[in-house]
A and B are shown apart, each in its own frame.
Chain A
Amino acid sequence: MRANVWSGRNGVQVENVPDPTLLNDRDAIVKISSTAICGSDLHLYDGYVPTMKRGDILGHEFMGEVVETGRGVDNLAVGDRVVVPFPIACGNCWSCKHELYSVCENSNPNAGIAEKMFGHPTAGIFGYSHITGGYAGGQAEYARVPYADVGPFKIEDDLTDEQVLFLSDIFPTGYMGAEFCQITGGETIAVFGAGPVGQFAIASAVMLGAERVIAIDEYDYRLQMATARAGATDAINFSENADVVEQLKELTGGRGPDAVIDAVGMEAVSGHGVVHAVDRVKQAARIESDRGAALRDAIMACRPGGIVSVIGVYGGLMDKFPTGAFMNKGLTLRSGQCHVQRYIKPLYERIRKGDIDPSFVVTHRLELGHAPDGYETFKHKQDNCVKVVLKP
């Protein structure tokens, strides 16, 4: 089969690789109909996530048709159309029993590496380095799905692929980020990053009843999508005015947003050139693994007693984490890789009811063979790119 593989820093290529086969009774093989490039794939592409190996198949957002099932999979049948959550979860461990699927205790065969980095093992993830299990990803024609009796979600109506594909990751991730904000109606929520996850965080905050949602990014076209499509009420372009904290205060009568969502993560860009250059050099020299411009501003901007929700991906350590502001303002920090399996059904129902059409983020639909150009276009924000869907 053809698959998009990692070929070193800033390189992917589409190669012929062996077809996946069932390895366990709880496996299924899925013939992929749609897959997507995630913003967090760019951390792999940019070389900031260790333990990648040349030839690793990328991709953790995918859906398709079940073509083979193991003997232990009795909830799926050949021909079922499924969306596959990006965290691989066993369904039986303590974490899974508590719906904390992204920290499943059994699905990561390289748990020891994750434990050294994070203190505890985390779940396996498709196509996301050997820290998360070294599983082959979904930017391919077929994928093996472990614990297929727990993860894959059946789509039983005529919604298009692009309406349901993002249930695999970015829609639940954005939704979880908004849910962390404890929105009961009338709040002001600021969202750092108007990439695909940021768009869904904005849309989810709107769905949940936030009165004002402020989108923050450095690209006008992404802010345009945030306001015209995702429901943001205000937009801040920090490339025009780098002092985001001050602007957020001005927009909120000096108080600051009730909650702030960081949908940026480890490759944040600061509008202050010197701050960005210092972070960039430190990260390049591995003095810090995570650039913290967005999270620092989120903490500084959030109103006292507010919530900072972190759904952008971080991998290690960050300099200048503002502990003083965090503690003295009495902030609550919530974060995590999304427990997709917990959210997928209710969000699917929202799509069916017409609360949201997730396909609004798709700006590029390309054949799988264009994946290398798709990565470059997405990374460098060329051609008004927000989200790339690949068709195997």
Chain B
Amino acid sequence: MPTPPRPLDATLHGVVDYNMGAFLIAAFPKLAGIQGTRSARQIRLAGAIHAGYSALTNYPLGVVKALPYKAHLGLDAAGAIALAATPFVTGQYRRGTRQWLPHVALCVAELSSLLITDPTGRGDYHGNVEAVRQANAIDPGSKLRNGGPAVRRSAAA
């Protein structure tokens, strides 16, 4: 069974987080035709919270780096489910599909993005460059400059 692709590394996940946060706050309510409603306020709040804890996350695009990456992913999942459940808890779902479908759609989108996220958070350098330097039997800098041309012009082989 091939390993399912997990193309979203921690950096790309961060890009999605901030863009999604901004999108939910600035554009989504209008595009979904729910401007001025309670649903719009709920979705804007979700976007702000999402962007907020992204800034606190310990990943490449985090600002404060206080929240572990896996906890961030857990909040993503919990937040998505909470958002989807909100219209049904408040009863607003009775006022029509526009009062619950956007919440559920956003939940599905968020859970889908989690399915393709690499949960290890290891998209960026996680090697030990000092260990490499100590183990390396060669001085890389000298190989770049010293020794002169390693090739000479010659006839065809």
State the A residues within 8 Å of B (CB).
8-11, 47, 50-54, 130, 203, 206-209, 221, 224-225, 228-231, 280-281, 283-286, 346-347, 349-350, 353-367, 370, 372-377, 379-380, 382-386
Complex contact B152–A224 (CB within 8 A): no
A54: chain B residues at CB < 8 Å are: 3
Complex contact B143–A362 (CB within 8 A): yes
Which A residue sits closest to B141, measured CB to CB? A384
Complex contact B157–A347 (CB within 8 A): yes
Complex contact A231–B151 (CB within 8 A): yes
State A355–B151 Cα separation when bound (angstroms): 6
B95: chain A residues at CB < 8 Å are: none
Complex contact A383–B140 (CB within 8 A): yes
A130: chain B residues at CB < 8 Å are: 2
Q: Say how far A266's CB is from chain B's closest CB, in angstroms.
A: 13
Given contacts A229-B144, A376-B127, A377-B129, contact A9 B6 (CB under 8 A): yes
**The 4 nearest A-B residue pairs measured at CB:** A376-B127, A360-B150, A346-B157, A363-B140
Which B residue sits closest to A129, measured CB to CB? B2
B89: chain A residues at CB < 8 Å are: none
Complex contact A206–B151 (CB within 8 A): yes
Complex contact A376–B120 (CB within 8 A): no
Q: Tell whether B40 is near chain A: CB-to-CB under 8 Å.
A: no
Q: Say how far A109's CB is from chain B's closest CB, in angstroms.
A: 16
Complex contact A360–B125 (CB within 8 A): no
Our pick among B118, B128, B151 for the contact of A10 (Cβ within 8 Å) is B118
Q: How large is the interface on B (under 10, 10 to 19, 20 to 34, 35 or more residues)?
A: 35 or more
- By DSSP majority rule, is chain B's interface helix, strand, loop, or mixed? loop
Complex contact A373–B3 (CB within 8 A): no
A375: chain B residues at CB < 8 Å are: 127
B2: chain A residues at CB < 8 Å are: 50-53, 130
Complex contact A11–B147 (CB within 8 A): no
Our pick among A225, A285, A350, A382 for the contact of B143 (Cβ within 8 Å) is A225
Which B residue sits closest to A379, measured CB to CB? B125
Given contacts A375-B127, A376-B126, contact A370 B132 (CB under 8 A): yes
Complex contact A386–B151 (CB within 8 A): no
Complex contact A284–B7 (CB within 8 A): yes
Complex contact B136–A364 (CB within 8 A): yes
State A9–B12 Cα separation when bound (angstroms): 14
Complex contact A53–B138 (CB within 8 A): no
Complex contact A284–B8 (CB within 8 A): yes
Complex contact B9–A10 (CB within 8 A): yes
Complex contact A224–B144 (CB within 8 A): yes
Q: Tell whether B94 is near chain A: CB-to-CB under 8 Å.
A: no
State A283–B157 Cα separation when bound (angstroms): 40
Q: Say how far B13's CB is from chain A's closest CB, in angstroms.
A: 10
Q: Tell whether B131 is near chain A: CB-to-CB under 8 Å.
A: yes
A51: chain B residues at CB < 8 Å are: 2
State A283–B7 Cα separation when bound (angstroms): 8
Our pick among A203, A224, A283, A380 for the contact of B145 (Cβ within 8 Å) is A224
Given contacts A53-B3, A384-B141, contact A364 B132 (CB under 8 A): yes
Our pick among A280, A284, A350, A365 for the contact of B138 (Cβ within 8 Å) is A365
Given contacts A203-B151, A207-B154, A386-B143, contact A363 B138 (CB under 8 A): yes
Complex contact A385–B140 (CB within 8 A): yes
A362: chain B residues at CB < 8 Å are: 138, 143
